[in-house]
Structure 1
Amino acid sequence: MSVFASLVEQLADLLHPLFAGASTAAAIVAFTMAVRLAVHPLSRAAARGQKARVRIAPQLAELRKKHAKNPERLQKAVMELHAKEKVSPLAGCLPSLLQAPAFFLMFHLFSSGRMAGHSLLAAPLGGHYADALGNGGVFGPAGRVYLVLFAIVAVVATYTYLRTRKQQALNPVQAVPADQPGAGAMAAMTKYLPLLSFATLISVAAVPLAAALYLVTSTTWTAVERAFLYRDMPVAGALAPAA
């Protein structure tokens, strides 16, 4: 914990000439970007895996049709296909899993009182949205800081939502066949999965402002990173005019 605290404090000292009283907030953003940059190679690997899964999706559909009445043979055939094409079903989870420890450590740091005396404009970094509402309301000095964060998250979430829905529409072959166990639950989860993009709005309102900065920066990075890594996939081209 002290290592993370020291890193943020050192970054804040370096950035103080440029950001003055908001240097700690700037340091949190810089730290978040450093964490995301560190796991970027894994994100690139996950992107390659996703593209490979799209490429082999027709083969998977054919295997499901061929072995529809033999789940064990189907599972073995799918594993063999993944091994042949060097596709890991878990590759996409690695970037998120490696970010989780950093987030929880930072969240504990933000909640430990070490943010006392630090602020972003009029909003204390250790405070919550409820504090801002009680001190000036929605359009008060602190409330306006949160409004900016909410606006950023809303734009990013909307883009992610539209992109995910478009990706699902362009790759229907990845859907689970209706006769497979758990197909109903999987279909429901797939239908509502894009809406999870907006859950960050609730998180930003619930966590300390310092943690909210971490979330907003990381979420924005994810959207930009995915647009770059998946730019050669059909979904990226389909969304280009809207973006």
Structure 2
Amino acid sequence: MDIFAFPPLAWLLDTAYGALAGLASLLEPLAGASSAAAAVVLVTLLVRALLIPVGISQAKTEQTRARLAPRLRELQKRHRKNPERLQREMLELYRSENTSPFAGMLPVLAQAPVVGILYTLFLRPEIAGHPNDLLTHDLFGAPLGTSLVHMLTAGPFSWPTLLVSAALMLIMIVAADLTRRRFTPAPVDDAPSSPGMLQAMKALHYLMAVFAAFVPLAAALYLTVTVSWTLVQRIVLRRRHPLPATG
């Protein structure tokens, strides 16, 4: 079933196509064949700029969580044998501080529709019955509609696609590693965590780079700019909203 055959979603996709194609045309005198890639970068920056208030709220939430860590540890000691009571008490504590343990997921959820639309725009040969001219654009010779995995498995082989995709994934891996080292919160519980759980939490930081290998290059470009912006933004906001010193 094609969800974009549903008229409202078909209109949304066609509108997004017209906006991105129009922006690419405006940028063509400056960016040439990479004008669509430049348009994707500008759209990404616009989305991230609109989400700055969410980033500020997230930084304040991290600050609040760090301040609440001693009280959370006390709750875990007190209700260690009663998981349901522990969960209720923790949620009540978060609620009393006007925060949530899931607040950090909002930026990811807010961007999911944008990534989905970009994925679809650079995957379909036709949009609303007309040829998809966005597929004729590239980034340094790498077609924006081709993914690294598709190129390697279905061909044809393309050095530009390999090199550009590898460069984007490397940037994402470096940004993920810096984020993991600098911003991974210390566990609240005094009890040692499961090694498997710790490894899974570390792996989550790198899943974006793995995901980028499977989506069209345009979507991978969006993810790369997003990850880089997020890292810089968190560094700036951490300085403005530092975590309380642990003694």
Flag whether TM exceeds 0.5 (same fold): yes
The answer (yes or no) to whether the contact 1:22–1:121 under 8 Å persists in 2 is yes
Distance 1:142 1:80, change over 3 A: closer
Q: Which residue of 2 aligns with 1:13?
A: 25
CA distance in 2 between counterparts of 1:131 and 1:200 reads: 17
Q: Secondary structure of 1:88's match?
A: coil
Distance 1:125 1:59, change over 3 A: same
The alignment-based identity, stated in percent, is 37
Q: Which residue of 1 aligns with 2:161?
A: 142
Q: Secondary structure of 1:111's match?
A: coil
Q: Which residue of 2 aligns with 1:215?
A: 223
The answer (yes or no) to whether the contact 1:161–1:195 under 8 Å persists in 2 is no
Q: Which residue of 2 aligns with 1:198?
A: 206
Kindly state the Cα deviation for residue 177 of structure 1 after the two structures are TM-superposed.
Answer: 4.8
The answer (yes or no) to whether the contact 2:66–2:243 under 8 Å persists in 1 is no
Q: Which residue of 2 aligns with 1:66?
A: 78
Aligned partner of 1:175: which letter? Answer: D
Q: Greater CA deviation, 47-56 or 82-91? A: 82-91
Q: Secondary structure of 1:116's match?
A: helix
Q: How does 1:216-231 map to 2 (within 5 A)?
A: 216-231=224-239
Q: Secondary structure of 2:176's match?
A: helix
CA distance in 2 between counterparts of 1:149 and 1:10 reads: 25
Kindly state the Cα deviation for residue 55 of structure 1 after the two structures are TM-superposed.
Answer: 0.4
TM-score by length of 1: 0.79
Q: Does 1:233 align with 2:242?
A: yes
Q: Which residue of 2 aligns with 1:156?
A: 175
TM-score by length of 2: 0.78
CA distance in 1 between counterparts of 2:92 and 2:214 reads: 45
The answer (yes or no) to whether the contact 1:160–1:194 under 8 Å persists in 2 is no
Distance 1:27 1:80, change over 3 A: same
1:60-118 Cα shifts (integer Å, max 9, x gaps): 11122233344454344333322332222232121111111121122111111223211
CA distance in 2 between counterparts of 1:194 and 1:66 reads: 29
Q: Does 1:90 align with 2:102?
A: yes
Aligned partner of 1:128: which letter? Answer: S
- Residue in structure 2 matching 1:116, options 135, 147, 153: 135
CA distance in 2 between counterparts of 1:78 and 1:37 reads: 33
Aligned partner of 1:104: which letter? Answer: G
- Residue in structure 2 matching 1:32, options 44, 47, 65: 44
Q: Which residue of 1 aligns with 2:113?
A: 101
Judging by fraction of residues, say which structure has more helix: 1
CA distance in 1 between counterparts of 2:56 and 2:33 reads: 36
**Number of residue-to-residue matches in the alignment:** 222
Structure 2: segments with no counterpart, 5+ residues: 1-12, 126-131
Aligned partner of 2:163: which letter? Answer: R
